[in-house]
Amino acid sequence: MKRGMRMIRGREFLMGCDEGYPDEAPARRAAVGDFWIDETPVTNAQFAEFIAATGYRTLAETAPDPRDYPGMLPEMARPASAVFVRPARRVEPAQPGQWWQYVFGAAWHHPQGPASDVADRMDHPVVHIAYADAEAYARWAGKSLPTEAEWEFAARGGLDGAMYAWGDELAPQGRMMANYWQGEFPWRNTLADGYEGTSPVGSYPPNGFGLYDMIGNVWEWTVDWYGAPRLPASAAACCAGSAGCAGSEAESYDPATPNLRIGRKVVKGGSFLCAANYCQRYRPAAKFPQPVDSPASHLGFRCIIRAPRANE
């Protein structure tokens, strides 16, 4: 038994969804091997141990190099991260600039900016984590980040084809099963789940594999580059540790910003900002393309350890 982790016995499963967002389709057979996975997202307390042991500085704590960002104003070359700030009145959900702010000094230990801290959030998921930060922690812990297939299989908890990690009803009998936005995003949150932002890990029921917060709370990094699914000749080609079903870094570049060749990784699970009227990605099949250099106040991770295969 590995402390704070659950063993997942891999097998073939139905990955993706034909009724969700276009990038979830087609629903297809995939397979994963056996692996251990963290029961919860990595918490502030766990990440603080990593920082104390290594002295590591996250991307949000590092000033960007203007040479990497053509047209960047010199005054923007300061450590910062994206922070959700709820608007006071109704705004169009298609205008994310109305609620995302680039806050100087925001980082994992200052989640809302330099005047905030995590002293009362040590059991919350760590946020403002860029992809390299998650990888650095995983290496230090002797673990890895999951593939998209591994993450999705774990999130489903044995419920192949179900819409959510707990079944086909979002809030069965009115019960909140995850930390997501209730009300009209981004300005009115009814707080039916009790939380405005992140919640302590384990605040909601575990899935069928005994895993917490696979849905909602914070988005979680995977190792796969974002792109159209590559359909293998057999489900076994989409296996643990394999990129057989993933795209390439070049394929992941955002076509809307051709001058910025920044790779985008698949993040999974949705966050406390997903809502019925905006981002219904609080489902195992759903995903989002996150630039590897873009930490944010709703972005964290969890780790896995792959079990050796029989021929290894």
- Measured distance CA(209)–CA(185) in Å, rounded: 31
Confirm whether 202 is domain-assigned: yes
Q: Tens of pLDDT along 94-144?
A: 889 999 999 999 999 999 999 999 999 999 999 999 999 999 999 999 999
* pLDDT value at residue 309: 77
Distance CA 216, CA 195 (A): 12
| pLDDT score, position 244 | 46
Let me know if residue 149 belongs to a domain. yes
Report whether pLDDT(196) > 80: yes
Q: Which residues contact 251 (CB under 8 A, 6 or more apart)?
A: 225, 227, 228
pLDDT band at 43 (very low <50, low <70, confident <90, very high): very high
Across the chain, what does the average pLDDT equal? 93
Which of 122, 81, 59, 61 lies closest to 296, judged by CA?
A: 81
- pTM confidence score: 0.95
For the segment 264-312, what is each residue's pLDDT rounded down to a tens digit?
A: 999 999 999 999 999 999 999 999 999 999 999 999 999 999 999 766 5
Give the domain extent around 126: 5-64+77-306
Within the chain, what is the greatest distance between any pair of CA atoms? Answer: 59
The tokens for 310 are 């029989």
Task: Tell whether 72 is covered by a domain.
Answer: no
Per the CB < 8 A criterion, the answer to whether 102 and 79 are in contact is no
**Does residue 71 fall inside a structural domain?**
no
3-class DSSP state of 309: coil
Is residue 263 in a domain?
yes
Over range 211-228, report the average pLDDT.
96
DSSP 79: S
Residue 241 has pLDDT above 70, yes or no: no
Tell me phi and psi for residue 45, to 5 degrees: -60, -45
Which residue's entry shows tokens 């057989």? 244
24 in a structural domain: yes
Contacts of 184 (CB under 8 A, 6+ apart): 90, 275, 277
Q: What is the per-residue DSSP string for 160-217?
A: TT-SBTTBS-SSGGG---SB---EETTTEE--TTS-SS---TT-S---TTS---SSBS
Examine the pLDDT at 252 and tell me if it is beyond 90: yes
Q: Is residue 118 part of a domain?
A: yes
Judge whether residue 44 has pLDDT over 90: yes
CATH (domain of 106): 3.90.1580.10
Dist CA 232 CA 246 (whole Å): 10
Instruction: Tell whether 69 is covered by a domain.
Output: no
Number of domains in the chain: 1
Identify which of 285, 239, 301, 283 has the alpha carbon closest to the alpha carbon of residue 10.
239
